[in-house]
């Protein structure tokens, strides 16, 4: 498909679906952490997702190439992907899913902020600066006050989630500003799955016993993560990233923390404090404003 200059109905549906899946993702990670050590879970997820994505790419006749200049950026993307998920999977060991969602889905904020310095055409306007201030205010409020800490190390978990968001933003830039932009969405995802599975599975023994109290129900949740979130969800994301403007796409990402907080309350029964809600609102509004493009002639 040709690149588009705005989000159409198909793009909106794709991004809504992706936001719902990733909003549910942290809840599933938290649940499966009871049966699998977090880093081992992340590594197994990447390893198990690699073959289905490869089979789909071959059957769909997607272009898969290691000689188109994308190899080294692809390996770096895989390293960032592994780091991102070490941080995320470990974060929910310490903090609540609701708070992890608020911090992790600040990714669009970092994309827009870095664009100001890296891409001349993406300078921050007064409206974007106001959005930046709101988002920073929401992050600061959430970091400084936690009315219902999940553990005594909840702040550490919050910071891990925030760092994970930065690595996710870095992958977005690699996908747009290097030879990875010429690779198919499937190839981009395969790079990340292959590299991250090796790194994460090699590192997993350093984080404690690999298996905790695994049950058939947790195994089913893990399988859903592999097929629905990684194979389906991330392919949707990278496909959309190649079709639609990145700044417009990231404006939809404020839905992910909303879904994350909602599912943490519905499924895990987490107490949602007023500070978390206020922080969520500030970050969501900030993300929308900071990724807003000025209309031509405005």
CA 192 to chain centre: 13
- Report the residue count for the chain: 298
Contact 56, 231 (CB under 8 A): yes
Q: Which residue matches tokens 């708070």? A: 99
Q: Does 124 map to a domain?
A: yes
Instruction: Say if 113 falls within a structural domain.
Output: yes
Q: Could you tell me if residue 295 is inside a domain? A: no
- Cβ atoms of 67 and 244 closer than 8 Å: no
Task: Answer left, alpha or beta for residue 74, where phi above 0 means left and psi between -120 and 50 means alpha.
Answer: alpha
Cα 106 to chain centroid distance, Å, stands at 9
Instruction: Classify residue 2: in a domain, yes or no.
Output: no
The range of the structural domain enclosing residue 271 comes to 9-290
39 occurs within a structural domain: yes
Task: Decide if 242 contacts 31 (C-beta within 8 A).
Answer: no
**4 falls within a domain:** no
Question: For every one of its 298 residues, what pLDDT tens digit does the chain have, with 9 covering 90 and above?
Answer: 677 777 788 888 888 888 899 889 999 999 999 999 999 999 999 999 999 999 989 998 989 999 999 999 999 999 999 999 999 999 999 999 999 999 998 887 888 888 778 777 777 788 878 988 888 899 998 888 888 889 999 999 999 999 999 999 999 889 888 999 888 888 999 999 999 999 999 999 999 999 999 999 999 999 999 999 888 888 887 788 778 776 667 667 678 888 889 999 999 999 888 888 999 899 888 877 876 655 544 3
How far apart (Å, rounded) are the C-alpha atoms in residues 250 and 140?
Answer: 21
Model pTM? Answer: 0.86
Report the domain count for the chain. 1
Whether residue 20 lies inside any domain: the answer is: yes
Asked whether residue 66 is domain-assigned, the answer is yes
């Amino acid at each position: 498909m040709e690149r588009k200059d705005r989000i159409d109905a198909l793009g909106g549906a794709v991004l809504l679906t992706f936001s719902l899946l990733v909003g549910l993702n942290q809840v599933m990670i938290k649940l499966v952490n009871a049966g699998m050590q977090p880093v081992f879970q992340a590594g197994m997820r990447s390893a198990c997702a690699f073959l289905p994505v490869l089979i789909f790419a071959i059957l769909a006749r997607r272009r898969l190439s290691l000689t188109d200049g994308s190899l080294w950026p692809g390996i770096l993307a895989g390293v960032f992907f592994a780091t991102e998920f070490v941080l995320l999977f470990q974060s929910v060991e310490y903090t609540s899913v609701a708070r992890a969602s608020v911090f992790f889905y600040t990714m669009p904020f970092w994309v827009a902020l870095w664009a100001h310095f890296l891409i001349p055409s993406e300078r921050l306007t007064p409206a974007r600066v106001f959005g930046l201030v709101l988002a920073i205010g929401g992050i600061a409020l959430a970091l400084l006050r936690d009315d219902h800490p999940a553990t005594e190390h909840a702040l550490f978990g919050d910071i891990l989630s925030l760092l994970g968001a930065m690595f996710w933003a870095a992958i977005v830039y690699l996908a747009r500003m290097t030879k990875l932009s010429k690779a198919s969405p499937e190839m981009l995802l395969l790079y990340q799955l292959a590299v991250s599975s090796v790194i994460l599975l090699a590192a997993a023994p350093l984080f404690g016993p690999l298996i905790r109290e695994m049950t058939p129900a947790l195994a089913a949740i893990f399988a859903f993560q592999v097929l629905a979130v990684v194979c389906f969800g991330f392919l949707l994301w990278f496909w959309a990233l190649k079709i639609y403007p990145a700044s417009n796409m990231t404006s939809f990402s404020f839905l992910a923390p909303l879904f994350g907080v909602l599912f943490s309350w519905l499924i895990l029964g987490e107490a949602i404090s007023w500070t978390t809600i206020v922080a969520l609102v500030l970050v969501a509004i900030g993300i929308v404003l900071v990724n807003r493009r000025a209309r031509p002639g405005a």
